[in-house]
């Protein structure tokens, strides 16, 4: 399963004064330093940046930069979408939406943005297919250097028809902001898609959708 995953293999999204610089590795996995690569096939990535509900910048590719934002504290959203038109059986499309508040830092040092990170754990066979009753663990966390307080995985939804319909699963606590769920895929389903929402005590949130995250055996 590959999805936009922020990690220290690249400089973390940050704010310096009234400027934002955000690099979003689009096809990372669960490894701490794995940013993912663009391999064979057709892939695309688009980033959108909003302030107080208004779109202020849009860019194709792995990063987006924004300058001259007000110093006053505002609500921001960063939305990253990816698509693989051919060449890959899994993670064919994703959408990740981060929401957070930010004001100008008191110092001139770059300040890492309070973007929440999601990681997934599910056992698959060598072909990337999970059992129809497999256990899935979702772990939510803050980025290194960000003090967010406790982080909680609030909602885990699954789809067995490429995101046309969604089903909320019963969550069981797994510690440290993680949640554990059990799949119940119908026999006719071929793929598992995921939609997860997490938040922290400050009101920072992330919602991530991964279409065809794994196959189903």
- The whole-angstrom separation of Cα 154 and Cα 163 is 19
Q: What mean pLDDT value characterizes the chain?
A: 92
- Residue that the structure tokens 């939305």 belong to: 79
Beta bridge partners of 181: 136
DSSP state of 165: S
**pLDDT the model gives residue 56:** 97
> Dihedral of the CA atoms 195, 119, 205, 144 (nearest 10)?
-170
- Give the model confidence (pLDDT) of 116-162 as tens digits: 999 999 999 999 999 999 999 999 999 988 987 889 999 999 999 99
Kindly list the distances between the CA atom of residue 28 and the CA atoms of 72, 118, 137, 154, 167, in Å, as whole numbers in the listed order: 33, 11, 17, 22, 25
- Tell me what pLDDT residue 80 has: 97
Facing residues of 78 across strands?
A: 49, 98
How far is 115 from 96, CA to CA, in rounded Å? 11
Cα angle at 108 between 103 and 110, to 5 degrees?
70
> What CA–CA distance (Å, rounded) separates 81 from 94?
6
Q: What is the pLDDT of residues 78-120, one digit of tens each?
A: 999 999 887 889 999 999 999 999 999 989 999 999 999 999 9
């Amino acid at each position: 399963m590959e999805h936009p995953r922020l990690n220290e293999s690249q400089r973390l999204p940050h704010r310096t004064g009234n400027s934002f610089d955000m690099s979003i590795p689009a096809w990372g996995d669960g490894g701490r330093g794995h940013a993912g690569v663009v391999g064979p096939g057709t892939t695309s990535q688009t980033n959108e940046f909003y302030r107080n509900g208004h779109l202020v910048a849009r860019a194709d590719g792995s990063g987006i930069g924004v300058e001259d934002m007000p110093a006053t504290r505002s609500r921001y959203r960063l939305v990253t979408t990816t698509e693989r038109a051919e060449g890959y059986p899994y993670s064919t499309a994703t959408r990740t939406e981060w929401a957070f508040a930010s004001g100008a830092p008191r110092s001139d040092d770059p300040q890492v943005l309070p973007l929440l990170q999601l990681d997934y754990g599910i056992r698959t066979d060598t072909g990337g297919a999970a059992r129809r009753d497999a256990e899935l663990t979702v772990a939510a966390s803050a980025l290194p250097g960000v003090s967010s307080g406790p982080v909680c995985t609030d909602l885990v939804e699954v789809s067995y028809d490429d995101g046309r319909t969604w089903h909320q699963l019963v969550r069981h606590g797994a510690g440290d902001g993680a949640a554990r769920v059990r799949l119940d895929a119908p026999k006719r389903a071929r793929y598992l898609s995921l939609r997860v929402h997490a938040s922290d005590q400050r009101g920072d949130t992330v919602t991530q959708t991964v279409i065809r995250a794994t196959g189903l055996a």
